[in-house]
Copies of this chain bind each other. A is one copy, B any other.
């Protein structure tokens, strides 16, 4: 058996999410079925750094898979890409790793980008890639409100009811909000996130951006530790996993 780390890009739209589900096709299933061709027909287990939800995209998900075939990493990448067709899932890069290496537990950081299209007209070119918010957003107010959430906190207020993490404590390292023409872009970085944490943060900051809540409100929600007090969960299609970090960094080729 040889273990490989894969740098994976996908369009989340047609999938039920990263994880295998009985309800439809997952990214995990696409990769495992492609990898079966390199594993004597048996789909191996693929594990990911972040189990993205249905509709969430990835530019740089990190996946581990073990296969029986004795192949160089470049050939594994090309073979997986061949067999994953026509699904919008591709392996950008593959490298050999030690068998016990975990993309999830060995990760030291995750970065997500959330895109809001903030204009009157619905998206044409970016349909399925952005949250369309018609009401004008004050990105500056959202950014200032976001800075009050940085650091180590109990993020229970921003956690999905379905979240399986043992502890609600997380350290938010970065939560930047900036306007780029008619887009408002949010960048979030942490060692790890709770389930729906980024989308709940975005939905809450959007309330501030629309002027419905003061800039102090997202912090008050945090301190209240009550999910029911926060804003809506922003829709999945605006969210993209942009980076997973390791120490030492993986030298993707």
| A residues lining the B interface (CB < 8 Å) | 9-11, 57, 59, 77-78, 81, 85, 88-92, 119-125, 127, 129, 182, 240
List, in ascending order, chain B residues with CB within 8 A of A119's CB. Answer: 92
Q: How far, in angstroms, from A182 to B252 measured CA to CA in the complex?
A: 13
Q: A88-B127, A127-B88 are in contact. Are A81 and B10 (CB under 8 A)?
A: no
- C-alpha gap A90/B182 in the complex (Å): 14
- List 19 additional contacts besides A11-B125, A90-B124; criterion CB under 8 Å: A9-B121, A9-B124, A10-B124, A10-B125, A11-B124, A11-B127, A57-B125, A59-B125, A77-B120, A77-B121, A78-B120, A85-B122, A88-B124, A88-B125, A89-B124, A90-B123, A91-B121, A92-B182, A125-B240
30 contacts between A and B (CB under 8 A): A9-B121, A9-B124, A9-B125, A10-B124, A10-B125, A11-B124, A11-B125, A11-B127, A57-B125, A77-B120, A77-B121, A78-B120, A81-B121, A81-B122, A85-B122, A88-B124, A88-B125, A88-B127, A89-B124, A90-B121, A90-B122, A90-B123, A90-B124, A91-B121, A92-B119, A92-B120, A92-B121, A92-B182, A125-B129, A125-B240
Which residues of B sit under 8 angstroms from A129, Cβ to Cβ? 125
**Residues from chain B with Cβ under 8 Å of A78 in the complex:** 120
Q: Which residues of B contact A59 (CB under 8 A)?
A: 125
Counting chain B CB atoms within 10 Å of each CB, which of A59, A89, A91, A124 scores highest?
A124
Q: Choose among A119, A122, A123, A125 the residue with the greatest number of B CB atoms under 10 Å from its CB.
A: A125
Which residues does chain B contribute within 8 Å of A92, judged by CB atoms?
119-121, 182
How far apart sit A78 and B10, CA to CA, in the bound complex (Å)? 33
User: Which residue in chain B gives the minimum CB-CB distance to A92?
Assistant: B121
A58 to chain B, nearest CB (A): 8
Smallest beta-carbon distance A172→chain B, Å: 26
Contacts of A91 in B (CB 8 A): 121
Q: Given the complex, which residues of B lie within 8 Å of A57, measured CB to CB?
A: 125
Cα A127 to Cα B89 in complex, Å, equals 11
Q: Which residue of B lies closest to A122 (CB)?
A: B90
Chain B residues within 8 Å of A120, by CB: 77-78, 81, 92
* Best-buried of A11, A121, A122, A129 by chain B (most CB within 10 Å): A121
